[in-house]
Structure 1
């Protein structure tokens, strides 16, 4: 007998609904939002599992790759399309949403979303962190330039740390009383 499942994910818990080929609810449960826990639960309770459906969200990439790696036939669907289907239901709750997702898994009336590889997400995160560090460094350098102008020192185009240090030492020689203000923390 073919069975289908829907997952409604939140930060800490995931609602699961399992239905048969005719749409009858076989089992409902709430487990931790962890791929290992979800995979063990699905393997234990769903022997003839055909498809699991999961909406896009903050944890969808993590759960999708974790469940695929544990041998679960899972598909991630567009949350906006799922919202259109789920909004037709009278009662809006996690229990009803997960049942609607399971029904979508059974019927196949959804738009599948391509999930990028984990390495792609790691590369993108590294690039974002680098861009933030460059922005922070530039902002701090501009603030330092502005503060030093108050005391008559211009950094100019000192682009290397050695050149900046030379200019700061020259400034400290002129104004030793301000050395504590610009000392490293």
Structure 2
């Protein structure tokens, strides 16, 4: 018997809905947005889950890699594609969204998103920080140069940027 779970993730909590092969909601719950808590909940209640599905979002990388490390079969789906299905539902709430994602998991009518390695995300964050620091440094050098012009003290660009 195939049992699938859908997650609706927010910053502090996540709604879980587990559906059976016929699409009936077997269990609903709300847990803290922590991969360890979620993995314990899933292992305590359902050891034979076919898959756990969550939408792309700000916490999806953190949760995806955290659940994979804990042995949970998890897939991340494109939120824009899921939105079409979820917007057709009458009642819009986190719990109903979790059930909608679980139904998508059951039917397989979703586009799976490739999740990059955690090291890749860390490298990209470091590159973005470096780029922002360079932009800030250049902006401050330009402001200092303009302030010096007001005082009629013209300096070379290299003196301001390296000094």
In which range does the TM-score fall when normalised by the shorter chain?
Answer: over 0.9
Aligned length: 162
Q: Determine the C-alpha separation between the residues in 2 that align with 1:67 and 1:39.
A: 6
Q: Determine the C-alpha separation between the residues in 2 that align with 1:60 and 1:123.
A: 18
* SS of match in other structure, 2:50: strand
Question: 2:48 aligned with 1:48, yes or no?
Answer: yes
Q: Which residue in the other structure is 1:37 paired with?
A: 37
Q: Report the structure number with the largest CA radius of gyration.
A: 1
* SS of match in other structure, 2:111: coil
**Deviation for aligned residue 1:101:** 0.7
RMSD: 1.2
Q: Which residue in the other structure is 1:74 paired with?
A: 74
More contact order relative to length (CA 8 Å, sep ≥ 6): 2
User: Any unmatched runs of 5+ in structure 1?
Assistant: 165-185
Q: Which residue in the other structure is 1:130 paired with?
A: 130
Q: Which residue in the other structure is 1:61 paired with?
A: 61
Q: Which residue in the other structure is 2:101 paired with?
A: 101
Give CA deviations for 1:93-117 in whole Å, capped at 9, x if unaligned. Answer: 1111111111111111100000011
Q: Which residue in the other structure is 2:4 paired with?
A: 4
Q: Determine the C-alpha separation between the residues in 2 that align with 1:35 and 1:8.
A: 13
Runs of 4+ with >4 A deviation: none
Q: Determine the C-alpha separation between the residues in 1 that align with 2:104 and 2:128.
A: 35
Question: 2:3 aligned with 1:20, yes or no?
Answer: no
Q: So what's the TM-score if we normalise by structure 2?
A: 0.95
Q: Which residue in the other structure is 1:143 paired with?
A: 143
**Deviation for aligned residue 1:53:** 0.6
Question: 2:111 aligned with 1:111, yes or no?
Answer: yes
